[in-house]
Structure 1
Amino acid sequence: MIVVTRYRVTPGDASSFATRAHTALDALAQQRGYRTGGVGRNVDDESLWTLTTLWDDTGSYRRALSSTDVKLAAVPLLSEAIAEPTAYEEI
């Protein structure tokens, strides 16, 4: 399962956002079922960022969101994402 969350970040907040995104990614990476992930910024629109993760399955991702560490380090950031579908199945 692939999870892609997108964010609009003002230029002045880019450094802070990158730090928070990497902290969130680190918390997610400690969870069972996590495969890989990354933080990215759009090459054409520097205000558009992503946090992308790959999971064994939907259940692994949903259980990860219940972890205390993830609730503290990642959920606040995830709540700032652009409101759109984020979960994709691998084909």
Structure 2
Amino acid sequence: MLALIRYSVPQDRTEEFTARAYEIVDAFAGQPGFVRGRVSRSVDEPELWALVSEWDGAGFYRRALSAARMVMYPLMTLMVNEPSAFEDVDRP
């Protein structure tokens, strides 16, 4: 499954955000079910960022969120409030 957490990051917080976002990826990487993760930035709107991760299932992702909440806390005010968990859909 795919997890996509978007952030609206003011220009003057870019360096802080990037460092903390990679701390979140590192925290996720230590959790069961983690497949891979990355930090991405919009090419059209430079203040829009995404923390993208892949998991073996939604349960793994939800448990990882609980385990990483203290690392995630400093960036919570920058999060875009929207669903973040997406399941793969098989081709018909």
Is the TM-score greater than 0.5? yes
Which of these two proteins has the greater Rg computed from alpha carbons? 2
Identity within the alignment, %:
39
Count of equivalent residues = 89
Normalising by the residue count of structure 1, what TM-score does the alignment of the two structures yield?
Answer: 0.89
Gapped regions of structure 2 (runs ≥ 5): none
Call closer, same or farther: CA 1:59–1:78 in 2, change over 3 Å: farther
Gapped regions of structure 1 (runs ≥ 5): none
SS at match of 1:59: helix
Given candidates 66, 78, 81, the residue that maps to 1:80 is 78
SS at match of 1:74: helix
Normalising by the residue count of structure 2, what TM-score does the alignment of the two structures yield?
Answer: 0.88
Cα RMSD (Å) of the superposition?
Answer: 1.4
Q: Which runs of 4+ in 1 moved over 2 A?
A: 74-80
Counterpart code for 2:55: W
Deviations 1:62-91, CA, capped at 9 Å, x for gaps: 111232xx1221244356310111110012
